[in-house]
């Protein structure tokens, strides 16, 4: 596939060079000669790309340090083609003799075209390697004309919730976020919605501020995404983890009930299923408080592209030349995209309260295979160009996570399962 894409780019570059240099009043025979000469130009360039290993499947994307190899390849190709022009008799194999000026312009165009193909492909295909194809769920009309409060609105999940709720026609979206920079970014992005989104720099653990906010705006829907989510960090700071993840959620649930909030969705994690980590336990206890109030819980696996994701860490490590760090070669995780995760949250908001909703994300993904795929997609070879170092399982981490789907019931023909939480 990449060889075909390269050939198309090379042909396009030659055609562009010919159009720039040649006179459109040329006799038809001259055009035919130039078109035939493109075959030799592209063949020489493709052969050199192949000889230098620059059009292999793992070369979809490149690092900056690879650019000199591409420049050298096209300089050599140009030299070969110029030599052919000078040495071949004018009356023999005319089609294999591209004009001098066209050759030079073509080499420049081809270089930028090939590099552009690789540099513009910024999204790593490997970032979703092994992730199941999950059909999008329709965002309910629950939010049309309503006031919706989103906590953690500056985070990866929270900001996508804000976007989708605003697009769904909410009258007001209250963006609650304690991080100034994160709140500024999402507020700036949502300016185009004409004042629908309101930035509120508030800590959800501040009960008085949250009580006043709920009393002033009277939201009918609360989507609670604010939380600490890094297992090692919460493991080292358990008191803060329980304060922010469990106590703050319990307080917000109580305040929401007092304020007459109709729908409350709490975003949890698969780590709350038979928790081994402090973070998992903080989420599990928060789930119990939410369900006791008759509200809704949604459990996620790992989310591609979320802040602090291992995928983001690997991208940085690959860009720096490696090595890529993997905790254990046996480790597996469930993955979903940010859009799928948020779509699940919004769909769950319209379902029956007092339940835990989980998305069937298919088979778990090998962390080692994911790391290897990302290295390949970045244009390198695992263990040869970019090393992989195994650092060991960190405190609180499991080798395998659970979804708890065996305790749930499928909702219609969707991939959503509902359960009562499965608590002991």
* 271 is known as an active-site residue: yes
Would you give the end-to-end CA distance of the chain in angstroms?
53
User: Any idea what DSSP says for residue 125?
Assistant: G
Four-point Cα dihedral 56, 62, 67, 73, nearest 10: 10
Q: Which two tokens stand for residue 178?
A: 């304690």
User: What residue spans of 171-271 are helical by DSSP H?
Assistant: 180-189, 207-217, 231-236, 238-241, 248-258
- 362 to each of 44, 165, 239, 402, 403, how far by Cα in Å? 46, 27, 34, 12, 10
Q: Which two tokens stand for residue 225?
A: 């995404």
Query: CA angle, corner 314, sides to 119 and 159, nearest 5?
Result: 80
What is the pairing mode between strands 332-333 and 365-366? antiparallel
Long-range contacts of 179-187, Cβ-Cβ distance < 8 Å, separation of 24 or more: 179/154, 181/154, 182/153, 182/154, 182/155, 183/153, 183/154, 185/154, 185/159, 186/153, 186/154, 186/158, 186/159, 186/162
Cα(4)–Cα(281) distance, rounded to whole angstroms?
Answer: 52
Contact yes or no for 357/299 (Cβ under 8 A): yes
Q: Which of 125, 172, 229, 271 does the annotation list as catalytic? A: 271
The helix or strand, by DSSP H or E, that contains position 409, with its residue range, turns out to be strand 409-410
CA neighbours closer than 13 Å in the CB half-sphere of residue 178: 12
Q: Is 73 exposed, middle or buried (0-12, 13-18, 19+ CB in 10 A)?
A: buried
Cα(309)–Cα(229) distance, rounded to whole angstroms?
Answer: 10
User: Any idea what DSSP says for residue 246?
Assistant: I
Distance of CA 25 to the CA centre of its chain: 50
Catalytic residues: 271
């Amino acid at each position: 596939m990449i060889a075909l894409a390269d050939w198309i780019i090379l042909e396009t570059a030659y055609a562009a060079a010919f159009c720039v240099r040649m006179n459109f009043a040329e006799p038809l025979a001259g055009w035919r000669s130039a078109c035939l000469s493109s075959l030799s130009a592209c063949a020489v360039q493709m052969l050199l790309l192949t000889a230098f290993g620059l059009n292999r499947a793992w070369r979809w994307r490149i690092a900056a340090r690879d650019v000199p190899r591409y420049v050298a390849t096209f300089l050599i190709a140009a030299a070969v083609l110029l030599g052919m022009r000078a040495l071949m008799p004018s009356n023999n194999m005319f089609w294999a003799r591209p004009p001098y000026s066209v050759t030079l312009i073509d080499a420049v165009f081809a270089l930028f075209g090939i590099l552009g193909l690789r540099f513009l492909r910024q999204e790593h295909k490997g970032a979703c390697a092994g992730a199941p194809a999950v059909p999008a769920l329709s965002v309910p009309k629950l939010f049309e004309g309503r006031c919706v409060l989103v906590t953690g609105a500056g985070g990866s999940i929270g900001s996508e919730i804000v976007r989708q709720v605003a697009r769904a026609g909410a009258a007001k979206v209250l963006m609650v976020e304690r991080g100034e920079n994160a709140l500024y970014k999402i507020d700036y992005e949502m300016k185009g919605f004409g004042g629908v989104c309101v930035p509120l720099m508030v800590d959800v653990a501040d009960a008085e501020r949250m009580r006043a906010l709920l009393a002033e705006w009277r939201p009918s829907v609360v989507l609670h995404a604010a939380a600490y989510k890094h297992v090692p960090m919460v493991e080292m700071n358990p008191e803060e983890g329980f304060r922010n993840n469990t106590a703050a959620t319990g307080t917000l649930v109580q305040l929401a009930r007092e304020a007459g909030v109709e729908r409350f969705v709490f975003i949890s994690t698969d780590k709350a299923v038979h928790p081994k980590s402090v973070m998992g336990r903080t989420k599990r206890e928060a789930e119990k408080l939410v369900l006791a109030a008759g509200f809704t819980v949604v459990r996620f696996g790992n989310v591609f592209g979320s802040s602090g994701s291992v995928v983001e860490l690997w991208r940085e490590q690959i860009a720096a030349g490696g090595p890529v760090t993997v905790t254990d070669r046996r480790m597996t995780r469930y993955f979903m995209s940010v859009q799928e995760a948020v779509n699940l949250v919004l769909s769950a908001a319209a379902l029956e309260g007092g339940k835990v909703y989980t998305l069937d994300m298919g088979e778990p993904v090998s962390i080692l295979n994911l790391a290897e795929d990302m290295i390949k997609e970045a244009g390198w070879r695992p263990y040869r160009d970019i090393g992989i170092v195994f650092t060991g399982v960190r405190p609180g981490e499991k080798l395998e996570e659970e979804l708890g789907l065996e305790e749930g019931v499928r909702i219609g023909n969707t991939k959503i399962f509902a359960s009562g939480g499965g608590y002991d």
